[in-house]
Amino acid sequence: MTIHRNSISYLVSVGLRGCLLLALSGCQSTTEKPNNSSKPVSYVGSARCQSCHTQQTKDWQLSDHYRAMAHATDSTVLGDFSGVTLSADGITSRFFKRDGKFFIHTQGDDGKYHDYPVLYTFGVFPLQQYLIEFPGGRLQATRQSWDEREKKWFHQYAGQVIPPHDWLHWTGNGQNWNTMCASCHSTELRKNYDFASDRYATNWKEINVGCETCHGPGSRHVEWANQKNPAPIHNAGLFYGQEANPELQLNTCAPCHARKADISAIPMQTAELLDDLIPQVISHEFYFADGQIDDEDYEYGSFAQSKMFHREVRCSNCHNPHSGNLLATGNTLCMSCHEPRYNSREHHFHAVNTEGAQCISCHMPVKTYMGNDHRRDHSFRIARPDQSVKFGTPNTCTGCHTKKSNQWAATTLAQWYGPSRAYHFSDDLLPGSQLNENSEPHLRKLLADTTQPAIARATAAHYLGSLPTATSAAGLVRALADAKAIVRYNALRALENFPPDVWQSAAAPLLADRVRAVRIAAADLFHPYGIARVPASHQASYRQADAENRQYLNYQTDFAVGNVMLADYEMQDNDHLNAIIHYVRGLKKDSLMNYARLNLSAAYSQAGKNDEALRVLTDALAVDAKNDRIYYNLGLLHYEMGNPDRAAESFAAAVKLGTRNTGVYYNYGLLLQQMNQVVQAEATWRKGYALQPDAININYALATLYLQQNRIDQARLHAHIIFEQDPGNPQYTPLLTRLGFFRN
């Protein structure tokens, strides 16, 4: 046996595809389509709307949308620029005016202090940020923000010292307006990023969120309205109007009120959400495991899982769509739909007119983001302290009664409402999210249950990708024919962890799916295996979908992660040189992104540049000296470069860190065996076996060793595990034959 060279292959960043993160087409959609006309539509500006839509304009001018972004003037700047200072997290900033302009004196990307002129205001309540112009067309949002509620300056990351060149430093990619913020604060914004020059030429139709952000270009509507006797047309010539159904209304809000990855430079091309963006599922990376908000959510992900939405409640049932304000205050708003009995002490068991009697106190818990922005969970869920007892999720009962236990809350609710709780999808999602031996049945059940929210079912598909069994595969393959695009998309992504024989025939039709995100995911699923793996009748569709996928990946290259995604794609094509370019650009934007270094080192190695690969891994250790994967890759690289002693040191360091990667134990044992340290080799493999008894590579090493030592019973014990899992693999046939599992 030899040390496996393919173990140093790059790490495919599967989880990156949805972030920014799936069978028949043509008969699945019931969403309304925009009015079609051969004449192109254009933007006319919000000022053209005022003469007919007076009240809507007045409402809009009071909204956060109207004040989403503005030129910095005395009338738009809320912060105190009288020369006051803010000392926070190791930085002292001063805010002042000079020659009628606003300035912030603070630390720059070079670690030195400069006077930065404020070009724009960004947001209005509860905080206002300020945009500073940098070379390359970049605008950067300061972390020093104005608290309009408390009338004071504050730092959004209180208690964290963020050094220059950190992705989260205000001059870094994480605070870049063009990439992270712009599209949701202006109308018809185009970021216009050029990769070759690393420059932006970002522009917009209106600086703020105007009428046409939601309604679409207005020229056809204006033309229709100016006719003497206009004939009725769909939505009065607008993309979105009063005729829209609840799903279309939510999809109109989602581009800015969803945590998502954009896939299209041109929004609102169709009524299908996943033609333009990929919503984040409600997995535990961003939500609590039951779907409650944890990291920033922006409302869509929580509302899409709610019973409200599935009973066709829409955003405008509670909010004035033009002002953004609630239509009523307190429980009065809820009682406009719900029966009066829900507003009684017999229901909520709290004194009337107290905070505990407010519907939102129990059903819309609040969480604070950006330092002072209090946002409520829009999943409108019933408190489940019984789940808190079992899984540690939060609940609103102990969120208020902080000195009480989850068990106390569960017991109290059982006394009030009886011992049984109505089924909620979290009853399956929670145990499914644990990804243990009991998870799969829960996830398969939820995925197949079309009465449950599509975003919850898509999350079940997401998790099943981490449980690569035959029954998981069967459930995911069935989901490829689901009516909901978000389910098909996430089923395709999950199948990336399964061999192509499992999904090839079922996934091929989705290369021509009606929804762009699904076509992209299908192309990405086939891409590592090449077009030869695509059935002949679908190869033309594959070429088109692959081109869309490449276009999507190129659109992400102003993100650090976007460059890694594109580089991973290029690695699959053995295009090592372009992959290196994109990994390097990604690291330029986020110097702490160590998984990019791991992949970059592999790209250098496969391009025959081992010295560069070694330099990159050394840099990675300087960022994270306790990362066992770095030591593992160093061990493989040192071995390839003819330094077995250095390789052994690196493997040993990974083992000392408690790695669970069986590849470390396998290759370290092989190296020790080659160095005539057979006892130590066996001990190393035994450690790997203790961690993962079913690992084929470890069992293969032990079976081979014991066969060489004529310890046949022990050899057969480990060979049996291989035979049970992968009997048809020709690599293991000689060993299994010698031990009597096959006849000669």
Instruction: Quickly list DSSP for 304-318.
Output: TTSHHHHTT--GGGT
The secondary structure element, H or E, covering residue 153 is: strand 152-155
The answer to whether 69 and 207 have CB atoms below 8 angstroms apart is: yes
Mean pLDDT along residues 498-514: 97
- Report the alpha-carbon distance of residue 534 to residue 310 in Å, rounded: 37
Domain definitions of the chain by residue range: 69-200
How many residues does this entry show for the chain? Answer: 744
Q: Residue 38: pLDDT band by 50, 70, 90 thresholds?
A: low
Q: What is the residue-averaged pLDDT of the chain?
A: 92
- Report the alpha-carbon distance of residue 218 to residue 222 in Å, rounded: 6
CB crowding 190-226: b at 16 or more within 10 Å, else e: bbebeeeebbbebebbbebbbbbbbbbbbbbbeebee
CB atoms within 10 A of CB 436: 10
CB atoms within 10 A of CB 161: 10
Q: Which two tokens stand for residue 729?
A: 């693999």
Is the pLDDT at 557 greater than 60? The verdict is yes
Q: Which two tokens stand for residue 665?
A: 């134990």
- H helix intervals, 573-643: 576-589, 594-606, 610-623, 628-640
Is the pLDDT at 40 greater than 60? The verdict is yes
Residues 6+ apart with CB under 8 A from 719: 699, 703, 735, 736, 739, 741
Phi (first) and psi of residue 154, to 5 degrees: -150, 165
CB atoms within 10 A of CB 236: 16
**pLDDT, tens only, 335-371:** 999 999 999 999 999 999 999 999 999 999 999 999 9
Q: 224 to each of 210, 236, 354, how far by Cα in Å?
A: 20, 7, 52
Residues 6+ apart with CB under 8 A from 105: 93, 94, 95, 96, 113, 114, 115, 116
CB atoms within 10 A of CB 20: 20
pLDDT at 237: 85
The answer to whether 131 and 125 have CB atoms below 8 angstroms apart is: no
Q: Is the dihedral of CA 33, 37, 39, 44 positive or negative?
A: negative
pLDDT at 25: 29
pLDDT at 269: 65
Long-range contacts of residues 503-506, Cβ cutoff 8 Å, at least 24 apart: 503/473, 503/476, 503/477, 504/533, 504/535, 505/535, 506/23, 506/477, 506/480, 506/481
Is the pLDDT at 738 greater than 80? The verdict is yes
**Which residues partner with 115 through β-bridges?**
105
Q: What is the DSSP letter of 174?
A: G
Q: Which of 439, 436, 474, 480 is nearest to 458 (CA)?
A: 480
- Report the alpha-carbon distance of residue 255 to residue 636 in Å, rounded: 44
Window from 50-59, 183-192, 264-273 with minimum mean pLDDT: 264-273
**pTM of this prediction?**
0.90
**pLDDT, tens only, 104-138:** 999 999 999 999 999 999 999 999 999 999 999 99
**pLDDT, tens only, 151-172:** 999 998 888 888 888 888 999 9
Return the residue matching tokens 């990351």. 157
pLDDT at 239: 82
Three-state DSSP class for residue 616: helix
Is the pLDDT at 5 greater than 60? The verdict is no
**Which residues partner with 102 through β-bridges?**
97
CA dihedral 257, 263, 266, 269 (to 10 degrees): -80
pLDDT at 37: 52
CB atoms within 10 A of CB 549: 24
Q: Residue 429: pLDDT band by 50, 70, 90 thresholds?
A: very high
Mean pLDDT along residues 546-570: 96
- Residue 14's Cβ-count burial label (10 Å; 0-12, 13-18, 19+) is middle
Mean pLDDT along residues 549-572: 96
**pLDDT, tens only, 673-684:** 999 999 999 999
CB crowding 330-345: b at 16 or more within 10 Å, else e: ebebbeeeeeeeebee
**Which residues partner with 116 through β-bridges?**
104
Q: Residue 608: pLDDT band by 50, 70, 90 thresholds?
A: very high
Mean pLDDT along residues 203-209: 97
**Which residues partner with 163 through β-bridges?**
none
- Report the alpha-carbon distance of residue 102 to residue 118 in Å, rounded: 5
**pLDDT, tens only, 392-407:** 999 999 999 999 999 9
Return the residue matching tokens 């050394």. 618
Q: Residue 31: pLDDT band by 50, 70, 90 thresholds?
A: very low
The answer to whether 564 and 578 have CB atoms below 8 angstroms apart is: no
